[in-house]
């Protein structure tokens, strides 16, 4: 593992577990990230961030339903987490639950109306579901919040 590799190189500074898990995911090692994040989630079952991180890693590892379940549990603990709603919406959309995904995208936008990316992705979901007026409004908000730089 990366921790063992770091220790073998003489590093006395271990990576924080969440950072180590993110590095494992980035290096294409989701099974190891999931194993590490399961330990954290079991140690802190009431910590939304731990559950959300594990849920995201499970999605990367191809365990979508379990990942979605953990993202839902994290949101139950932190219902005002805009990024949590956005992440759950993406997972739901990829699993074919478009209507439910759109509701979570709308919550993410409501909680973070200053985030142009949330508006843009919500706009895509709206367009895919035929809510064209709302899609146009979301895209307009995204452009207003993050206008293109002049070329």
Q: How far is residue 41's CA from residue 31's CA, in Å, rounded to a whole number?
A: 15
Residue 24 parent element (H or E): helix 17-26
What CA–CA distance (Å, rounded) separates 96 from 102? 11
Is pLDDT above 80 for 93?
yes
- pLDDT top residue among 130 and 6: 130
Write down the pLDDT at residue 3: 44
In this prediction, residue 16 carries a pLDDT of 77
Chain-centroid distance of CA 32 in Å reads 18
Question: Which of 97, 96, 95, 101 has the alpha carbon at shortest distance from 126?
Answer: 101
Please state the pTM of the whole predicted model: 0.83
Asked if pLDDT for residue 41 goes beyond 50, the answer is: yes
Contacts of 28 (CB under 8 A, 6+ apart): none
Q: What is the CA radius of gyration of the chain?
A: 18
At 47 the three-state DSSP class reads coil
As a 3-state breakdown, the chain gives helix, strand, coil percent values, each rounded to 5, of 75, 0, 25
pLDDT tens track for 49-73? 999 999 999 999 999 999 999 999 9
Percent of the residues in the chain that have a pLDDT greater than 70, as a whole number: 88
Mean pLDDT of 95-117: 97
Token output for 65: 């339903």
């Amino acid at each position: 593992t990366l921790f063992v590799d770091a220790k073998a190189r003489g590093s006395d500074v271990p990576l924080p577990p969440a950072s180590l898990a993110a590095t494992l995911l980035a290096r294409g090692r989701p099974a190891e990230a999931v194993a590490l994040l399961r330990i954290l989630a079991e140690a802190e079952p009431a910590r939304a961030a731990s559950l959300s991180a594990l849920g995201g890693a499970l999605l990367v590892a191809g365990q979508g339903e379990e990942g979605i379940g953990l993202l839902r549990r994290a949101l139950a603990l932190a219902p005002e987490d805009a990024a949590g709603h956005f992440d759950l919406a993406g997972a739901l959309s990829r699993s074919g639950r478009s209507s439910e995904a759109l509701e979570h995208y709308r919550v993410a936008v409501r909680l973070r109306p200053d985030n142009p990316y949330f508006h843009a992705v919500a706009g895509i979901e709206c367009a895919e579901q035929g809510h064209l007026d709302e899609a146009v409004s979301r895209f307009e908000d995204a452009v207003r919040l993050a206008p293109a730089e002049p070329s």
